[in-house]
Amino acid sequence: MSEDSQRNFRSVYYEKVGFRGVEEKKSLEILLKDDRLDIEKLCTFSQRFPLPSMYRILVWKVLLGILPPHQESHSIMMEYRREQYQDVHHALQVIRFISETTPKIEVFLLMYHLETGKLSQCQPYPMEPEDDCFLAIASTMEEIVDDDVDCYWLIRNFVNHLDSKFKDSKLQLHKAFEHYLSLEDSRLVAHLKASSALEKLPYDLWFKKCFAGCLSASSLQRAWDKLVSGSCKILVFVAVEILLTYKLKVMALNNSERINTFLEKIPEDNTDSIVSKAIDLWHKHCGIPAHSI
């Protein structure tokens, strides 16, 4: 039996006896033992499988460029990141932009603006539309990450990752959403068009904020695995699956405002299922990376 066949056999066996993901976890641990981490293979793993929670932050930090591929440099680099965080944080205290009562996500936003040269001297601090997206993402990231330094750098580089990697792709997400929803349920698309709701769906919440504030952080982090590793289109399939999951509710609403209001605040008790089915849809329509793990 070939190595791949043995691996597939073991994976099926583990799933049947309730240990789904055991083989995948072992595969990731092998990748993480390399002195120089293979970014391509880590991306491929993250595209194919959910990241184990115990390794998620490390993998994200490597894929987002917070840590270098060479593991021997990780401790030194994180010390540098911590010092930079403290310097920027202290600078904001000195110029009295933040205090002990400033909400943490707002502190992160001001730190980001100071670092990128966008800090306004106006008080109270004026908020731009993109700041709302930053704060939403920061709020979700804060639920996922315990350490403040890790949290700030992950937010910062996640936002930069979206802007640099997906700036052009994000413009196509609306069309892709309609295309794939039509393939899955054309009657639902027809209803949305008849209700004048298709163009008024909460696209900014879905695509600019990457569902931060819409889905629970514990569910959303599995979709963000795909984003961090290079797939912007996963957002499309999360949106498609939300519509499919709540098809009966949406079909019963004939007013675009009521449809939009409902979709902005969907029940949180079903978000795990939505993300799991969205990932299945994503694999169904986009395939699975074939790179050997």
Backbone region of residue 288 per phi and psi (left: phi > 0; alpha: psi in -120 to 50; beta: other values): beta
User: Does residue 128 carry a pLDDT above 90?
Assistant: no
Residue that has been written with the tokens 């997400």 in this structure: 173
A 10 A CB-CB count for 83 gives 11
User: Which of the pair, 265 or 28, is modelled with greater confidence?
Assistant: 28
pLDDT recorded at residue 289: 63
pLDDT digits (tens, 9 = 90+) for 135-156: 999 999 999 999 999 999 999 9
Compute how many other C-beta atoms are within 10 angstroms of the C-beta atom of residue 85.
20
**Do you know the residue count of the chain?**
293
Cβ atoms of 134 and 104 closer than 8 Å:
no
Best CA proximity match to 152, nearest among 162, 165, 138, 140: 138
Q: What gap in Å lies between CA 3 and CA 22, rounded to an integer?
A: 16
Buried b (16+ CB within 10 A) or exposed e, 206-218: bbbbbbbbbbbbe
Tell me if the domain spanning 165-286 has CATH number 1.10.472.80: yes
Query: What pLDDT, on a 0 to 100 scale, did the predictor assign at position 22?
Result: 65
pLDDT-derived band at 251, boundaries 50, 70, 90: very high
Domain ranges of the chain: 165-286
Overall average pLDDT of the 53-64 stretch: 97
| pLDDT at res. 169 | 74
Instruction: Average the pLDDT over 164-181 and give the result.
Output: 85
How buried is 80 (Cβ within 10 angstroms: 0-12 exposed, 13-18 middle, 19+ buried)? exposed
Nearest in space to 162 (alpha carbons), one of 175, 171, 174: 171
**pLDDT, tens digit, for every residue of 9-55?**
444 444 443 445 667 889 999 999 999 999 999 999 999 998 999 99
- pTM beyond 0.85: the answer is yes
CA separation for the pair 220, 56 (Å, rounded): 13
Tens of pLDDT along 76-127?
999 999 999 999 999 999 999 999 999 999 999 999 999 999 888 776 667 7
* pLDDT value for 192: 96
Percent of the chain with pLDDT over 90: 77
CA distances from 80 to 86, 153, 155, 278 (A): 10, 12, 17, 38
Average per-residue pLDDT for the chain: 89
